[in-house]
Amino acid sequence: MEITGFDHIVLSCRDVAGMVRFYGAVLGCRTGEERPGKWAIWFGAHKISLQDEAAKPALAAGTLPGTGNFCVLSAWPVAEVARRLESAGVGILDRGEKSGAMGPIDSVYFHDPEGNLVEIANRL
């Protein structure tokens, strides 16, 4: 077997509408309803599917809201990302150089409305 790439992740949510607003308005992602009741967030060629905690299938029984932890890359400098987050009232948890998949990255960490740990980075 050879894994060749990343397609999407799924986040379990208590408030799907709040997540759609946050990722759309604050982070500038494209959002939309893929099919009735199934919302998603797109950035570049990737997707985050939002799973309503109250309506999740048995297959997702072990997933919990607020337990995600992921890193996305931005075309904006991290300093600008941090300013935008702060102006939207989002608390910055950490900032600085970290180790990314392809080498060093400059990152900013924060929680989304469900409590997931989100890292936005630039490759150095």
| Span 33-75, pLDDT tens digits | 998 889 999 999 999 999 999 998 898 888 999 999 999 999 9
Largest CA distance in the chain: 45
Check: CB of residue 103 under 8 Å from CB of residue 2.
Answer: no
pTM score of the predicted model: 0.90
Question: Is pLDDT at 3 greater than 80 in this prediction?
Answer: no
pLDDT, mean over the chain: 94
* pLDDT, mean of residues 15-21: 98
Spacing of C-alpha 39 from chain mean position: 14
In the block, residue with structure tokens 């894994």: 3
**Spatial distance between the Cα atoms of 23 and 17, rounded to a whole number of angstroms:** 10
